[in-house]
Amino acid sequence: MTTETVKKAANGLNGTVTIPGDKSISHRSILFSSIAKGTSRISGFLKGQDCLSTIACMKQMGVKIEETDDTITVYGRGFEGLQEPERVLDVGNSGTTIRLLTGLLSGTSFYSVLEGDDSIAKRPMSRVTKPLKEMGALIDGREEGNLTPISVRGSELTGIDYTSPVASAQVKSAILLAGLRASGVTVVREPSVSRDHTERMLNAFGVHVEQDPHKGEVKVEGGAELTARDVEVPGDISSAAFFLVAACMTPNSSLELKNVGINPTRTGILDVLEAMGASLEIYNERTETGEPVADIRVTYSQLKGTEIGGELIPRLIDEIPAIAVLATQANGTTVIKDAAELKVKETNRIDTMVNQLKTLGAQIEATDDGMIIQGGTPLLGGRVSSFHDHRVGMSLALCGLLSDTPVVVDEAEAVDVSYPGFFQELYRLK
Ligand code: SPQ
């Protein structure tokens, strides 16, 4: 177990941070280039544990993938080029890997088994296995296919018209990946629009995905083939979030965040920061492999509490732990609702954040679908744990920037899942 100690940043945080590659887009770049025909070169790839798990799984299926310091080269041989893995596919801590792979494996001609770590063993899989079974997929697992290990025997699939009860990019993507191998058309509808990296990247690989964001609907036709192409992965706004929050709440701070993905399905945190009165400048806007990217300047200012819910939630779901920390420092109360999905992440992020923040002096209460945070509360030093949840670990670390005595974060190695080098970067900016 690794422990990190974060001390007060009396002079604020200042400097430039180049944001590491987007985790969601990095996963998809490996999956899609593996089933495409031809060679794809991926730059800006996030070498976090989760994305390395996706690479390891695809290699087990016979895909040749070469890694150098700044490029990943994938030699795709088409969907038919995938081979039956000899051993269980280990997804580590990655929900994205297991959910998207289950969809992709459903339409193969072979047998495979997926499992991961203790956290993956608790995360619900029926949200993807249920619709996939409706398409004809032969899937099993504990609790009738809800829990790992998950076995998939590849089979003939038929397109479906599926209305998902949750706004989830993992559900949508798993069904679309199966839809590529199914006969007929596959339609996925969701209550509000989740991140659309799968749709954008499939389009970039030559597959026509029809999107109607007003209806929350996407459509793909079976049989479409992917053509290899080079991919530039933008920086992850979910990683930038920790520095956005750090600068907003630590007096004397001003940070320049370079290379931040600003896909509108992910920028809920920017909307919230603006509503709270943050000082943000977004500039140098450009597009990389169909994804909007920009640089952001963020400067300390006194913020006010806000209410977060509804369609905003899928656009900032992974940033809620960091927003909860920020809300302790705003004037007034912040209410986060409609976020029950937080309960099925790497940990139950409502309970973990509420319990851990309370030990640091925060006035925060859990609700059924979110939390209520009283602002203007001084944070205290103390010992907390990430509970093996990368976003919890990084969010709690930010509290140490303000507390008079240090915040000690146990199980700090969890951050390697999405942001290797996070603590070094945080210490460098003081
Ligand atoms: O991959 P994993 O473990 O599910 O990662 C998380 C995270 O915090 O990094 C969630 F725990 O991000 C998900 C995100 O919450 C990544 C993701 C994707 O790449 O498609 C989509 C979201 O999950 P969901 O369940 O809403 O589809």
Helix, strand or coil for residue 181? coil
For the CA of 28, the nearest atom of ligand 1: 19
Query: Is the CB of residue 229 below 6 angstroms from any atom belonging to ligand 1?
Result: no
Query: Is the CB of residue 24 below 6 angstroms from any atom belonging to ligand 1?
Result: yes
| Residues annotated as part of the active site | 318
Write down all domains in the chain, each with its CATH number in brackets.
4-21+234-428 (3.65.10.10), 23-232 (3.65.10.10)
Name the residue among 430, 55, 51, 412 with its Cα closest to residue 247.
Answer: 430
* Backbone angles phi and psi of 102, in degrees to 5: -60, -40
Residue whose Cα lies nearest atom 4 of ligand 1: it is 95
Query: Is the CB of residue 345 below 6 angstroms from any atom belonging to ligand 1?
Result: yes
Tokens of 425: 């970067």
Query: What would the pLDDT profile of 156-204 be if each residue is shown by its tens digit?
Result: 999 999 999 999 999 999 999 999 999 999 999 999 999 999 999 999 9
Tokens 């976020």 belong to residue: 339
Residue 122 burial (CB count, 10 A)? 13
pLDDT of residue 213: 87
For the CA of 169, the nearest atom of ligand 1: 27
Query: Is the CB of residue 266 below 6 angstroms from any atom belonging to ligand 1?
Result: no
Ligand 1 center from residue 94 Cα (angstroms): 8
Ligand 1 center from residue 345 Cα (angstroms): 7
Residue whose Cα lies nearest atom 8 of ligand 1: it is 318
Query: Is the CB of residue 418 below 6 angstroms from any atom belonging to ligand 1?
Result: yes
pLDDT of residue 1: 93
Regions of the chain with pLDDT less than 50: none
pLDDT of residue 120: 98
